[in-house]
């Protein structure tokens, strides 16, 4: 696994950097709001500006990965978002911060669909769940480190320099990726013949890229069910990116140190769940079929998550609420590898577009989540109402899992004979 292990290492560190850059603004939010005189609703709009742009450009960036290959496209994506991460530290008010975060989201769009496209080329079907598990372990390591690391940097160097430091890490990753990654395994001079045969056990990818079967994609029930499922995941996930540090410190009364710990805890538990879920989805799929390994696992994970979110609204201690919310993210993440393996099951040659569509809806969910919470807190002075809505949406996502059939690949309509 030497060569594809390198690909997996790239994905792992990309996920870390992606989440460092996303979540840093959540950790810095109380200080930014105070310095720039922003209301809760204005900060919600800043959070959602990233998500809106990310959603708009997700499918085009995923499609570019299918057409041009993830090597070039991911290099552009990471350089763009890293520049605007650094520029976040130069914002002077609500308008400039809103514009910078929108452009940051536009640049980062397509990162995970392009990695999914790379996985479709570099990993056989039997390994894709575990590959996604390791990648999303990286995202949770990034999430776990982001809040305490950002708070440490903010205390010592200020929030503006913190974003500059985070931006520089992405530039380094992009340079190394462009130098050492190849779109097609057979083009990599370091790969062995045995490893190439293992990668291509499900069939060799055609040298000429196939046209995107847009009509077949739009007719597929799988596409809409996958998108609905991931909308629910994104809706709940973005709370942890945006409002969790504020909720822990301002609402539950934790100190900055304790708040940093409990902001990191969900991502630590979720990272463990990602690795376990990646192994579990592949194991169940081989033993009982893709529907059990992907759909039933995902449904159970989302339902359990909904239960944890609801339980956090009960009359329990602040520590119990923080732990229940951490367990909720871990539960959802147990199904995350299955989420990202399903687009590869149903459309491996068009994984960029398929994963891009899924992630677009996930980020539209992420756009709605912080806004709904902002409205609930700003107008109704209630975090509980927002958590009730989140639990209900996760439950709906669990039902959407049961509508997905990973054994039904998307095929273009046959061409009429001349």
Q: What per-residue confidence (pLDDT) applies to 59?
A: 86
Burial 159-168 (b: 16+ CB within 10 A, else e): bbebbbbbbe
pTM of model > 0.85: no
Give the pLDDT mean for 233-240: 92
Q: Which of 81-85, 198-202, 210-214, 254-258 has the highest mean pLDDT?
A: 81-85
Condensed to tens digits (0 to 9), the pLDDT of residues 357-408 reads: 998 899 889 888 888 888 888 888 889 999 999 999 999 999 999 999 999 8
Name the residue among 274, 248, 272 with its Cα closest to residue 261: 248
Question: Residue 358: which of 338, 379, 334 has the closest Cα?
Answer: 338
Q: Specify the pLDDT at position 208.
A: 63
Determine the Cα–Cα distance for residues 129 and 125; give it in Å rounded to an integer: 8
- Taking 90 as the threshold, does the pLDDT of residue 354 lie above it? no
Distance CA 204, CA 221 (A): 27
More confident residue, 143 or 264: 264
pLDDT of residue 412: 60
User: Residue 298 pLDDT > 80, yes or no?
Assistant: yes
Nearest residue to 332 via CA among 240, 253, 406: 240
Taking the domains of the chain in order of start, what are their residue ranges? 2-184+216-401
pLDDT tens-digit map of 60-75: 888 888 888 899 999 9
pLDDT (mean) for 53-65 = 86
Q: What is the mean pLDDT of the chain?
A: 88
Q: What is the DSSP letter of 201?
A: T
Looking at residue 202, its pLDDT comes to 73
What length is written for the chain? 418
- As assigned by CATH, the class of the 2-184+216-401 domain is mainly alpha
Tell me how far CA of residue 299 lies from CA of 249, 391, 400, in angstroms.
Answer: 32, 14, 8
């Amino acid at each position: 696994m030497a060569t594809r292990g390198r690909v997996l290492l790239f994905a792992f560190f990309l996920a870390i950097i992606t989440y460092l850059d996303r979540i840093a603004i959540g950790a810095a939010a109380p200080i930014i709001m105070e310095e720039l005189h922003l209301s809760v609703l204005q900060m919600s709009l800043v959070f959602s500006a990233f998500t809106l742009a990310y959603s708009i450009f997700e499918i085009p960036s995923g499609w570019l990965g299918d057409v041009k290959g993830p090597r070039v496209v991911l290099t552009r994506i990471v350089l763009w978002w890293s520049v605007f991460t650094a520029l976040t530290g130069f914002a002077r008010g609500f308008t400039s911060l809103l514009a910078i975060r929108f452009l940051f989201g536009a640049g980062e769009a397509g990162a995970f669909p392009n990695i999914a496209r790379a996985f479709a080329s570099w990993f056989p079907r039997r390994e894709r769940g575990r590959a996604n598990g390791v990648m999303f372990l990286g995202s949770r390591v990034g999430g776990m480190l982001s809040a305490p690391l950002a708070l440490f940097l903010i205390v010592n160097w200020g929030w503006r320099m913190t974003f500059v430091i985070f931006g520089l890490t992405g530039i380094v990753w992009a340079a190394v990726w462009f130098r050492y990654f190849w779109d097609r395994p057979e083009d990599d001079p370091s790969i062995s013949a045995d490893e190439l045969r293992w990668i291509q056990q499900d069939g060799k990818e055609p040298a000429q890229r196939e046209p995107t079967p847009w009509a077949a994609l739009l007719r597929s029930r799988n596409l809409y069910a996958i998108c609905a499922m991931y909308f629910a995941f994104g809706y709940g996930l973005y709370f942890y990116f945006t409002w969790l540090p504020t909720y822990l410190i301002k609402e539950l009364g934790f100190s900055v140190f304790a708040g940093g710990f409990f902001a990191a805890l969900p991502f630590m538990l979720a990272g463990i769940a990602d690795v376990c879920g990646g192994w579990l989805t592949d194991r169940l799929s081989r033993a009982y079929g893709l529907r059990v390994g992907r759909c039933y696992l995902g449904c159970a994970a989302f339902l359990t998550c909904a239960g944890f979110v609801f339980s956090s609204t009960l009359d329990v201690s602040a520590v119990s609420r923080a732990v229940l919310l951490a367990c909720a993210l871990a539960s959802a993440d147990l199904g995350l590898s299955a989420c990202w393996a399903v687009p590869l099951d149903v459309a491996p040659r068009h994984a960029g577009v398929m994963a891009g569509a899924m992630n677009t809806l996930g980020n539209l969910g992420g756009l709605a989540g912080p806004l709904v919470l902002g409205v609930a807190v700003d107008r109704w002075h209630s975090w509980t109402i927002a958590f009730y809505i989140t639990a209900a949406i996760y439950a709906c996502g669990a039902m959407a899992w049961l509508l997905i059939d990973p054994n039904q690949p998307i095929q273009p309509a046959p061409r009429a004979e001349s």
